[in-house]
Amino acid sequence: QVLLEESGGGLVQAGASLRLSCAASGDISNINSMGWYRQAPGKQRELVASISLDGKIDNLSSSVKGRATISRDNAKNTVYLQMNSLKLEDTAVYYCAADRNFIWSGSQIDFWGQGTQVTVSS
């Protein structure tokens, strides 16, 4: 089993920045991709960003492209999502995800974190 532990969520003002972290532990040898999903009230869970742990591929959704970067620290088994210029519509529960295959929109995810709330206020 793989445990994904998110941190960095909170309440921020519109225009501010936030850095989310997700640390993986457990049986991580076959995890090859990690990423971030979010789910806002009344909406389906959507992929925000993903990255291959070999560094060859990353992906940002159109909703955050230009405002966010995803990065990894394999020594710490951790992936980060740096989000800038936060908007009200970024408010959601953000879930870390890990998978043996690269995470694309529509992927069936092997492991989920419990989620961390990001609330953007005006």
- The pLDDT tens digits of the residues spanning 71-113 come to 999 899 999 999 999 999 999 999 999 999 999 998 899 999 9
Distances in whole angstroms, Cα of residue 9 to Cα of each of 39, 104, 120? 14, 23, 10
- The pLDDT tens digits of the residues spanning 44-77 come to 999 999 999 998 999 999 999 999 999 999 899 9
Distances in whole angstroms, Cα of residue 112 to Cα of each of 3, 14, 83, 87? 8, 27, 20, 25
- The pLDDT tens digits of the residues spanning 12-43 come to 999 999 999 999 999 999 899 999 999 999 99
Distances in whole angstroms, Cα of residue 22 to Cα of each of 14, 29, 78, 122? 23, 16, 5, 27
Specify the pLDDT at position 76.
Answer: 92
